[in-house]
Amino acid sequence: MKTQFDYHVRIVSLENLRAMCARAGGTCHTYEISKISRSRVHVTYSNPNEYGTPDPITAVFPCYPSTHEGSENPAVIIGEMIRCIGDKDGYGYQAFDLLTCGQPVYRDPSTGAWSTRLEIDGTDHYLCPDNKVRKVDQYHPYTDDRTAAFDITAETSAETFARIGGTRHFAYFTWTDLRPAKPGMYGRPVEV
Q: Is residue 166 within 8 Å of 158, Cβ to Cβ?
A: no
Mean pLDDT of the chain: 87
Q: How many Å separate Cα 5 from the centre of its chain? A: 22
Task: Give the residue with greater pLDDT, 31 vs 102.
Answer: 31
Q: What is the pTM of this model?
A: 0.77
Q: Rounded to the nearest 10 degrees, how much is the dihedral formed by the CA atoms of 93, 95, 101, 104?
A: -130
Question: Which pLDDT band, with edges at 50, 70 and 90, does 68 fall under?
Answer: confident
Q: Of the candidates 148, 141, 143, 107, which has an alpha carbon nearest to the alpha carbon of residue 127?
A: 148
Q: Please report the pLDDT score of residue 20 as a whole number.
A: 93
Residue 192 has pLDDT above 60, yes or no: no
Question: Which pLDDT band, with edges at 50, 70 and 90, does 150 fall under?
Answer: very high
Q: Of the candidates 68, 7, 71, which has an alpha carbon nearest to the alpha carbon of residue 40?
A: 71
Question: Which pLDDT band, with edges at 50, 70 and 90, does 191 fall under?
Answer: low
Query: How far apart (Å, rounded) are the C-alpha atoms in residues 111 and 90?
Result: 41
Question: Which pLDDT band, with edges at 50, 70 and 90, does 159 fall under?
Answer: confident
